[in-house]
Amino acid sequence: MSKTLLDIKNLHAEIEEEGKAILKGLNLTVKAGEVHAIMGPNGAGKSTLASVVSGKDGYEVTDGTVEMDGADILELDPDERAKEGLFLAFQYPVEIPGVSNINFLRTALNEIKEYRQEEPISAKDFMAMVREKSALVDLDAKLASRSVNEGFSGGEKKRNEIFQMAMLEPKVAILDETDSGLDIDALRIVAAGVNKLKNENNAVILITHYQRLLDYIVPDFVHVLADGQIVKTGDKSLALELEEKGYDWLN
């Protein structure tokens, strides 16, 4: 039995400002070594799930629990969750002008290391790591030294997310529509990168609208998220079925 890395039970969450419920009793258990795909109609609450799990402001958890590696994380700040090994590849990566990607990642990496009481990484080792990991997703070396996401194309931003994931080596990675905006070649490259990063000690959650991604990164489970709940779970064939029939038949 491999161990449970992420355990979401009966999660209810609403938008703080409006009190509008988005997640309505969601359950999801992710074990080490697994790949889960979450699909579902626009506005179903997929990104909200990613936000709530990673601790973004503006959402209130009204019921339920989220455990990572056996420990409750709902009380932790977003950065503490990240330091515990949670990574979110954003659906819309954010630009940070004036801050180089490299400086950003080195700061992040050393913060995480400090939290884990490890020595900070030397400049030399860091640069070697940057070279290795950027090759993994075929990220142009120039992009690594440019300001974080500033002026990156849509596809470059997505690639950069996976590059960051490679650098930070998370236990649980949630990839929110990383495939959208990627051209066919880029999709293959990024998927291959994710596959290389995947091992028996970590887990990947793919939020996607397209079963095509799942041809490259084969999921162990496919879930359908609709109206704030997981309404159906199956294996890879479920994705094919959804592609064919849409979501209506589930109701």
Ligand X SMILES: Nc1ncnc2c1ncn2[C@@H]1O[C@H](COP(=O)(O)OP(=O)(O)OP(=O)(O)O)[C@@H](O)[C@H]1O
Is 100 or 180 the residue whose CB approaches Mg ion more closely? 180
Q: How far apart are CA 105 and CA 1, in angstroms?
A: 34
Helices 101-115/154-168 angle, 10° precision: 30
Query: Which residue type occupies 180?
Result: S
Residue 185 binds another protein (CB under 8 A): no
Residue 109 binds another protein (CB under 8 A): yes
Among ligand X, Mg ion, another protein, none, partner that 107 touches (CB below 5 to 8 angstroms by kind): another protein
Given CA atoms 50, 86, 121, 110 in this order, what sign does their dihedral have? positive
CA-closest candidate to residue 225, choices 21, 38, 36: 38
Token pair in block for residue 250: 């589930």
Token pair in block for residue 249: 């038949």
Among another protein, Mg ion, ligand X, none, partner that 21 touches (CB below 5 to 8 angstroms by kind): none
Pick one of 5, 11, 13, 22: the residue that binds ligand X (CB under 6 A): 22
Residue 45 binds ligand X (CB under 6 A): yes
- Over the window 137 to 176, marking each residue x when it contacts another protein by CB under 8 A and - when it does not, the resulting string is ----------x----------------x---x--------
Binding to ligand X, residues 56-75 (CB under 6 A): 58
Residue 222 binds another protein (CB under 8 A): no
Residue 47 binds Mg ion (CB under 5 A): yes
Stretch that binds Mg ion, among 40-48, 166-174, 196-204, 235-243 (CB under 5 A): 40-48
Full DSSP string of 63-76: EEEEEETTEE-TTS
Residue 77 binds another protein (CB under 8 A): yes
Cβ 108 to another protein shortest distance, Å: 4
Among another protein, Mg ion, ligand X, none, partner that 231 touches (CB below 5 to 8 angstroms by kind): none
CA distances from 123 to 68, 110, 170, 202, 231 (A): 31, 11, 21, 27, 48
Full DSSP string of 201-236: T-EEEEE-S-HHHHHHS--SEEEEEETTEEEEEE-H
- Over the window 50 to 69, marking each residue x when it contacts another protein by CB under 8 A and - when it does not, the resulting string is ----xxxx------------
Confirm if 202 and 84 have CB atoms less than 8 A apart: no
Is 36 or 46 the residue whose CB approaches Mg ion more closely? 46
CA 195 to chain centroid, in Å, comes to 14
Q: Under DSSP, is residue 7 helix (H, G, I), strand (E, B) or coil? A: strand
Cβ 116 to Mg ion shortest distance, Å: 31
Applying CB under 6 A, which residues contact ligand X?
15, 22, 40, 42-48, 58
Chain residues binding another protein by CB under 8 A are 54-57, 77-79, 82-83, 87-88, 90, 93-99, 103-105, 107-109, 111-112, 115, 147, 164, 168
